[in-house]
Each structure stands twice: as C-alpha cells, then as structure tokens.
Copies of this chain bind each other. A is one copy, B any other.
Amino acid sequence: MRIGELSQRSGVAIPTIKYYLREGLLAPGTATAANQAAYGDEHLRRLRLIRALVDVGGVSVAAAREVIGALAREDLDPLELLGVAHDAVTPRRTPDRDSAEWAAARETASALVVRHGWMVSTESVGLDLVADVISALRSLGVAEAIEQLDRYADLAQSLAAFEVAGVIARDDPARRMELVVIGTVLGEALFAALRLLAHQHESAVQLGYHPTENPPGPATKG
C-alpha cells in the first residue's frame, strides 16, 4: 500500500509516519518509483504498536525506539527484552537518593524482595523505585502504607504470574517477544485505570453509599 493508505488504515498522519521512518522506528517501504514506496501489513502492525506504546502507554518516542530496536534483535532472551521494556516504562524522575533515609528505604525494599523469595537482580531499577516510595511515605509519616508493603507485593505477584503465563503460552517466538513489550506497557496502563475505578467503588461502599444511589463521580475532563 502507499503511504496515504497506511496513514488512513493506522490513523497516523503522514508527517508522523515520515518522522517515524526518519527516526528508525519504522522500516523503509519497498521503493516502487523515485520518491515512492510501498508498505505492507507489517508496517501497519508496527505503526499500531508504536501508537499503543506512545499514546496509551505514555512511553516517549525515544524509549519506543529502544524497545522496537530490541524487538528486532535475535540475540536477546525474554528476560533481557523484559529489562528493555521495563526501562521504557520506568519514570525518568530522579528523586534525591543520597540521603541516609533513602538508603534505609532501599534496605526495606531489598528485605521485602528477599522475604517474598523473588529472584531479582540486586541492581534492579525496580528496587530503587520502591525505595523512592518508601522513603517518601516515611518522610510524610505514613507508616500504615509501609506495613501494607507485603500485601502490595502479594497482589503484584498475582498479577505478574498470570501476565507472564499468558506470554509464555505463545508458540511463536517473535509474537511472544512482542507480547512482553505490549504486556509490560499496556498492562500497567490497564491496571492503573482499573485501580482508579475500584477506588471509586470501594470508597462509595466503605463510606456507606447505597448501591441504588448515584455516588458523586469525579470531575470529568473536557
């Protein structure tokens, strides 16, 4: 198909497609004439993946390029690709990590992982992110959330167990790798959105709204 049809079928504007081509997120089409190229279903599929990562998953274009580059590499095993996908969804924020309080929070995070018998690298960025939250909660005097760490960890593991099982069940290795990326990024967006809805529900229930009443919803966005 020509670039116009690719644009129409993917819903991505032509200048954006050209930008992805220049940036290497999208492989060049097959040249059919000077200044003209043909694109196939693989291009359409790749465009949809880019848009899902960027528009729905909130991944930057730079991080999306990393992930898509990693997908093309045949030497990466699934755990290595998972690391790249994790990097793509890891916030770029860098809170202060030099304090003694942060170091203590990092110890709490490591102890949590040991307690749950999780096989994770001691260098894992995830441990730093957990420590960021623990450190912030302590600075705010919110002890109860820290007492609940194990419940958070149990639920995260339940979620990860079925997410990973779904990926591994795939026969096609290329598709499996793609699912590692899609699952990491879109699974997070899905769970976060459902958690917000569940908060509304649980708040209504636990504050004693009767199911037939219409609880006040949150402000909607324009």
Spell out A's residues near B (CB within 8 Å).
11, 45, 48-49, 51-52, 55-56, 58, 77-80, 82-84, 86-87, 89-91, 93-96, 99, 113, 116-127, 129-130, 132-134, 136-137, 139-140, 142, 144-145, 148-149, 151-153, 155-166, 168-169, 179, 182-184, 186-207, 209, 211, 214-221
Evaluate contact between A119 and B220: CB separation under 8 angstroms. Answer: no
- Chain B residues with CB under 8 Å of A206's CB are 164-165, 168
Number of copies of this kind of chain in the complex: 2
Q: Nearest-CB distance from A200 to chain B (Å)?
A: 5
Determine if B133 and A186 form an interchain contact, defined as CB atoms under 8 angstroms apart.
yes
Q: Does B151 contact A194, Cβ atoms closer than 8 Å?
A: no
For A193, the chain B residues whose CB sits under 8 A away are 126, 129-130, 132-133
In the assembled complex, which residues on chain B have CB atoms less than 8 Å from the CB atom of A79?
200, 203-204, 207, 215-216, 218
* Apart from A83-B216, A148-B166: 7 A-B pairs, beta carbons within 8 A: A11-B99, A87-B218, A113-B197, A119-B209, A124-B220, A126-B196, A152-B191
Give the residue of B95, B156, B220 whose beta carbon is less than 8 angstroms from that of A56: B95
Docked CA distance A219–B125 (Å): 8
20 contacts between A and B (CB under 8 A): A11-B99, A49-B140, A55-B96, A55-B136, A79-B203, A79-B215, A80-B216, A83-B219, A86-B200, A121-B214, A121-B217, A126-B197, A126-B200, A129-B196, A133-B186, A145-B166, A148-B163, A155-B158, A161-B198, A164-B203
A190: B residues at CB distance < 8 A: 130, 133-134, 145, 149, 152
The answer to whether A90 touches B221 (Cβ under 8 A) is: yes
Which of A122, A163, A169, A179 has most B Cβ within 10 Å? A163
